[in-house]
Amino acid sequence: MLKASFKKHIFKFNFPGGTSRGVLLEKVSYFLKIWNSEISEIVGLGEVSLIPNLSPETSEQIELLLNEFIQNPNDFVTTKELKNFPALKFGLETALLDLETGAKKILFPSEFTKGKVGIRINGLVWMGTKDEMLQRIKEKIESGFTCIKIKIGAVSFHDEIELLKFIRKSFSVSDIEIRVDANGAFAPAEALSKLEILSKLQLHSIEQPIKQGQWMEMKRLCANTPLPIALDEELIGIADTDKRIQLLETIKPQYIILKPSLIGGLKDSEEWSKLAIKRNIAWWVTSALEGNIGLNAIAQWTFANGSKMPQGLGTGQVFSNNITSPLEIKGEELYYNPQINWQNI
């Protein structure tokens, strides 16, 4: 017989997290505990992570569902349809998996969880003023990152081009791989011309140049772009296999980006990856501002699934009150240090 509880945690940003959808100062997660009534000392732990204005669910919806869940976990797990609640689905999936594997937070044992091999990640540069972003770019490069991801769309396009030119003046494409993330900031009518300007700077790719849901416009961009396009927000809310296939075969993107908390969890991420590979579409994984509980599950799954591209798994550093964990960044790699204990929750 399963038992369960949950705890709300409000993460505080070390600095304002600027995106094209606004500035984040804090975000909420719910830590979900599951145990068997006969073995109460073994407790599976998962994280339900929400991003304001991006996650399909609201905090109010999640709290109602979590209160329903803890009343009767067994019925909830076996009967509740959660396809419209991807963050809850991810948190529940990983908590159950943690319980099944002994509640040691080692969901996918590997050379990564032994601390022997790291996962190469990109250095994330948040939006800010031109001077702030320039300083952040310098810091990431000095820290050893050879793949930089820059969020664009909040300052003027001219200033963003100047920032990118600064990197290219000092570092060739063989030295630094640059990815940019527009978070849907471009209007469809101007998107192709902006992509042409960006392509001259020898970038790796651009994430979500226009807002999600405009399939025909995105199809046109992917067919004509001089710069590879990665679908990000476009995957959110596409819960049925047939519709996922339809999206990939209609738009034909160069890449897709998997964010388990936003697309339904690890099994759904695996389905997306297989559908993409079958259609010669490459993929990588990015965390969606989970704390270290959620990030740990995503990182272990990512390593187990063998993607060799730099991953977007460095967001554990953005919070001042994250959960102490074995996850640590050395240079441009994320490691799991078995010598570090998890913080009690």
255, containing H or E segment: strand 255-258
Query: What single letter denotes the amino acid at residue 299?
Result: A
Check residue 38 and report its DSSP letter.
T
Give the C-alpha separation, 132 to 50, whole Å.
26
Query: CA–CA separation, 197 vs 184, rounded Å?
Result: 17
| β 229-231/22-36 pair status | unpaired
Q: Which amino acid is at 338?
A: P
23 vs 81: CA distance, rounded Å: 32
Of the listed 105, 151, 194, 211, which one is catalytic?
Answer: 151
267 catalytic, yes or no? no
CA–CA gap between residue 152 and residue 180 (Å, rounded): 7
Q: Is 151 among the catalytic positions?
A: yes
Give me the numbers of helices (H) and strands (E) for the chain, helices first please.
11, 13
Place of tokens 């960044």: 329
Mapped onto helix, strand or coil, the DSSP state of residue 145 is coil
Give the Cα separation of 345 and 337 in Å (integer): 19
Q: What gap in Å lies between CA 295 and CA 293, rounded to an integer? A: 6
Burial class (CB in 10 A: 0-12, 13-18, 19+), 79: exposed
- Axis crossing angle, helix 188-199 with helix 215-224, rounded to the nearest 10: 20
Residue 310 is classified by DSSP as P
Round to whole Å and give the CA distance between 64 and 209.
35
Residues labelled as active-site residues = 151, 259
